[in-house]
Chain A
């Protein structure tokens, strides 16, 4: 399967712990997006990369959140000192992003539960 993959699919952690999620986009896609979805809501934008450059960050992305895409391929999202409010589904998407009309392809998501 050559779609977007995310790891892990589920993560349960205790409040105050650090967690890191990984996203592997479709191989030729140069744009990668992170979204967060809480129960009963639509996804919300967190950040996006074009190749290795992080071009936009949402105000939702507090100082405890950091995202990287070191070689322009896979990306990681780290949450430090997790809080119960961080419990959500974290979705990754990728696109070709050649400008104009493009489609974002979503991964299966990582469901985070902070206890």
Chain B
């Protein structure tokens, strides 16, 4: 079992829909990251959190430390949100990130 599991692996939705991507992890962490990767490979950090909830524009990230679970929500989704979304965790005392497999999101107009 991977340390970081994401679901779903693929998600297709219509423009305007509310999107939820889930991330579960099995280790104690000091931080969890949500990252966005567009075709061509570049990775952009969306959120870094260790508790509670963060919001940036139409994106919301939540984390439940006790349940070892995080969600990324996108409100009013748009075709430009189409990308791979990756969850990554930094274990307590570690420096490296451990990544999930990613969720490929496609938003159709």
Contacts and interface: CB of A to CB of B under 8 A. Distances in A.
B52 interface: no
B7 interface: no
A35 B48 CA distance: 19
Contacts of B33: 103-104
A45 B44 contact: no
Nearest to B47: A103
Given A42-B102, A48-B95, A48-B96, A101 B40 contact: no
Contacts of A43: 43, 86, 88, 97, 99
Chain B, interface SS category: strand
Given A56-B96, A89-B41, A111-B41, A101 B101 contact: no
Nearest to A110: B41
The number of chain B residues touching the other chain, given as a range, is 20 to 34
Contacts of A100: 30
Contacts of A105: 45
Given A31-B95, A45-B98, A103 B40 contact: no
Given A48-B95, A56-B96, A101-B50, A106 B101 contact: no
Interface of B: 4, 30-31, 33, 35, 40-45, 48, 50, 86, 88, 95-102
17 contacts: A31-B95, A33-B95, A40-B102, A42-B4, A42-B86, A42-B99, A43-B88, A43-B97, A45-B97, A97-B95, A101-B50, A103-B48, A104-B33, A105-B45, A106-B44, A109-B42, A109-B43
Given A41-B102, A108-B41, A111-B41, 10 more contacts: A40-B101, A41-B101, A42-B100, A42-B101, A45-B96, A100-B30, A101-B48, A103-B33, A104-B45, A109-B41
